[in-house]
Amino acid sequence: MSPKLRAALALAVGMGSAVTAPAGDLEPITTLQYRLEFARQELEAARAATAQATEALQAARQRVAEAERALDRARREAQDAETRLERARAAERQASGRLEEAERRLGEAWQAREAATTRH
């Protein structure tokens, strides 16, 4: 196997100088430079992912806040509707009572009229 191929395989596998340099030698500068560049790229990608996740989190928090405001608004509207319903039911009961009273009085008036016409 050629030394270049061994070096490329060692870099790919992550063994670095264990294959390219004899024991006790320092890692070659180019290997360290590649590792440094790779670490910089990893950091850049991680920062980009962090920024994207931060934006997604902010957007999600904004949607939650909007949903909470909408829920509060819906609760107030439901409470208002319930109050209106209670008032409408009370008005219906009063109107029903007045109708019954009017029907009773009309019946009494008809009876009084019939009684007056039969006496004459």
- Residue pLDDT, tens place only, 37-83: 999 999 999 999 999 999 999 999 999 999 999 999 999 999 999 99
Put simply, whether the predicted model's pTM sits higher than 0.85 gets the answer no
Averaged confidence pLDDT in the chain: 88
Share of the chain above pLDDT 90, in %: 71
Q: CA 66 to CA 59: how far, in whole Å?
A: 11
**How many Å apart are CA 43 and CA 40, to the nearest integer?**
5
DSSP assignment string, 47-111? HHHHHHHHHHHHHHHHHHHHHHHHHHHHHHHHHHHHHHHHHHHHHHHHHHHHHHHHHHHHHHHHH
Which burial class, exposed, middle or buried, applies to 55 when counting CB atoms under 10 A from its CB (0-12, 13-18, 19+)? exposed
**Mean pLDDT in residue range 8-20:** 56
Confidence of residue 4 (pLDDT cuts 50, 70, 90): low
